Amino acid sequence: MTAERIDGRLRAKELDSRVTEGVSAFSEKVGRVPGLAAVLVGTDAASQIYVRNKVKRTKSVGMLSFEHVLPETTTESDLLSLVDDLNADPRVDGILVQLPLPGQIRAERVTSAVSPEKDVDGFHIVNVGAVASGVGGLVPCTPLGCLILAAPFFGGDFAGVESVVVGRSNIVGRPMANLLLARRATVTVVHSATRDVASHVRGADLVVVAAGSAGLVRGDWVGEGAVVIDVGINRLADGKVVGDVNFEEVSGVARALTPVPGGVGPMTIGCLLLNTLTAALRREGLGDPDIGLGI
């Protein structure tokens, strides 16, 4: 068996196209376009590239983009003041504060200061609780992207799907498990303290890996015909970027597998834009977007 390579770039283009249509419909109905504010503190090269890509994609789907680049020496109080201003700005539907932040700024203070209704990263405790309870909320972008990538292989119906999430982070692992539970999947979360991780993974129909360990998941860990979503991004000593899954080995047994790069990454920004559209619609009392994601 040779696994189908799940093209995250292609799926992200499809998602952007649907968001663009949603933005157009929103504009016709409301008389304005959604706006996303991106805040970058400092000069971290990776963060600069990531924010630049987000701004470009935001404009490409017809949304307003508000970019705020602050110096490395920015104080926590100054950043919180900016967040307050963005919370009050009627043009802004979504607020993204790029992480990591400089050491003098506590990330949890900043994420708690963003209005839950504009928290398009899904990090505010109100949204975390809503997602965990299965009652809505804005969903963290990466887990949402994983769900969209996996959905076609299960006909959009995760009911009863044996699912294993490798990793328990607040950004990916926990919300991923909650999203699957909300769709009636049978979910196991494994992590660094789990005994015999491989035995858990081997019985899964769907495996989502977000452990931050290059090549952790080997071919003999994965059951034949499983769908594997690799969230990991690891840079090796030679500069090569790889995931948490040994791609060559797992592609020999899995039904489908995301590459790194080119898998989950592009979907994360796509879901950020989807969340911004969702936030704009909810602010106007128009419900959630109906753009046929199959989830």
Residue 40 within a domain: yes
Single out the residue in 52, 82, 116 at which a domain terminates: 116
pTM reported for the whole predicted model = 0.94
Task: Give tens-digit pLDDT for 35-91.
Answer: 999 999 998 888 888 889 999 999 999 999 999 999 999 999 999 999 999 999 999
Task: Give tens-digit pLDDT for 161-216.
Answer: 999 999 999 999 999 999 999 999 999 999 999 999 999 999 999 999 999 999 99
Higher-confidence position of 136 and 5 = 5
Q: Which of 16, 54, 118, 244 is catalytic?
A: 54
**54 is an active site residue:** yes
Q: Which of 16, 93, 98, 119 is catalytic?
A: 98
Q: State the chain's mean pLDDT as an integer.
A: 95
Q: Which of 121, 205, 230, 244 is catalytic?
A: 121
**104 is an active site residue:** no
Q: Which domain holds residue 227?
A: 141-265
Single out the residue in 81, 116, 151 at which a domain terminates: 116
Residue 222 within a domain: yes
Nearest to residue 148, comparing CAs of 22, 21, 29, 258?
258
Give me the number of domains the chain comprises. 2
d(CA 240, CA 244) in angstroms, rounded, equals 13
Instruction: Mark whether 227 and 171 lie in a shared domain.
Output: yes
Instruction: Mark whether 39 and 84 lie in a shared domain.
Output: yes
**84 is an active site residue:** no
CATH number of the domain at 98, please: 3.40.50.10860
Q: b or e along 220-233 (b: 16 or more beta carbons within 10 Å of the residue's beta carbon)?
A: ebbbeebbbbbbbb
Instruction: Mark whether 42 and 94 lie in a shared domain.
Output: yes
